[in-house]
Amino acid sequence: MITLTRLVAAKYKGLESLDLHFPERGSFLIEGRNEAGKSTLFDAIHFGLYGTPLVGDQGDAINYGAETAEVLLGLRVGTTRLEVRRSVRQTAKSIRTDAVLEVVQGDDVEVVKGARPVTQRLRQELGGLTAEALLNSCLVAQKQLGRLETLARSDREAALTVLLNLDKLNDVYNRLRVKPEDEEQLRRARARVELARVTGALLTLGEARTALDRTRQLIELRETLDQLGLNEAARVETETKAAAQTARLTAVRQQLDTLHAIREKQAHWERVSDLAERAHGAETDLVQLRQQIDSLATVEAGLPALRARLHVQETLGVAPAGLGSVKARVEGG
């Protein structure tokens, strides 16, 4: 709902200075003599909304003898407050217009500047209400009441459409009405949805496969680590056994070395014993030989005497007794 809250006009046509505040509720009666400016109030409202007077052009909006005309219009559209200020100024060469719009929504204030941007934003805030629709409905220029009767059906429908905001409903209907191309788009959309579903399923399967592959790789890695652990334990055990065998082999080698040394000593002892026995036998033989030498020496010592006796006996012609045994002993010796 659009509600007028304030109207300020200065040097606008026949209005010298005017500031009206309107309450939120009520009906208002404007009364005055002819040419007192009653219609100019509606003209100022139209100028504030659309930037053009209801009657005449922008140059006609400036009061006679003035250079600038200003209009301030306050509106409320739902919970949005609007305040538009328009001015038109006569220069030596042209007429210049300006406009400022404040859009207040709660604590947010937006300022729009420039005649054309302000007009466009106002039309947007007013739900698309055009000047033509306003003139064909609730704001009729003076002496133009018959204009409503001469409006064509299409113009009346257009005015009602704007006033009742039916153009939006028509837009919604046109957008929602099913067309052949919509069927084709629906078919394509369903195909895209099916494709997206299949693609999603494939992605899910791919993710599941990736997860399974990762799990399999982790299991294989775990098995490999376990096998490496077993291999490491076996290696340690083998090294331990090898160290024990090495120690045993070292001990055996030491024992063999000891045995070899003992055997060498035993062989040496046997050789020494044999030499000792041989030396003992040689010593015995030497003793016997010495005894024989001593006997021979004794015999040899007695030989001169014997020879002398023998010579004597031979000289006497007597064979001495025991001469044969002496010879035998000497020959044997």
Residue 158: the pLDDT is 63
**Domain containing 86 — which CATH number?**
3.40.50.300
Residue 39: other Cβ atoms inside 10 A: 19
* Residue at 217 is within a domain: no
Sheet of 108-113, strands arranged across = 15-21, 2-12, 68-77, 80-90, 95-105, 108-113
Q: How many domains does the chain contain in total?
A: 2
Instruction: Please name the residue ranges forming H helices in 76-179.
Output: 115-125, 131-135, 146-149, 153-163, 166-176
Q: Look up the domain containing 328 and give its range.
A: 293-332
Residue 320: the pLDDT is 53
* Residue at 321 is within a domain: yes
Quote the CA–CA distance of 40 and 30 in Å, as a whole number: 11
Domain boundary among 126, 158, 177: 126
Contact 83, 101 (CB under 8 A): yes
Residue 19: the pLDDT is 93
Domain boundary among 126, 157, 188: 126
* Single pTM value for the model: 0.47
Residue 161: the pLDDT is 62
* Residue at 231 is within a domain: no
* Residue at 319 is within a domain: yes
pLDDT digits (tens, 9 = 90+) for 276-313: 788 777 778 788 888 888 888 787 777 788 778 777 87
* Residue at 192 is within a domain: no
User: Cα-flanking dihedrals φ and ψ of residue 53, to 5°?
Assistant: -65, 160
Q: Which residues of the chain have pLDDT under 50?
A: 323, 325-328, 330, 333
pLDDT digits (tens, 9 = 90+) for 158-185: 655 655 555 666 666 677 777 788 788 8
| Beta bridge partner(s), residue 111 | 102
* Residue at 209 is within a domain: no
Quote the CA–CA distance of 22 and 104 in Å, as a whole number: 18
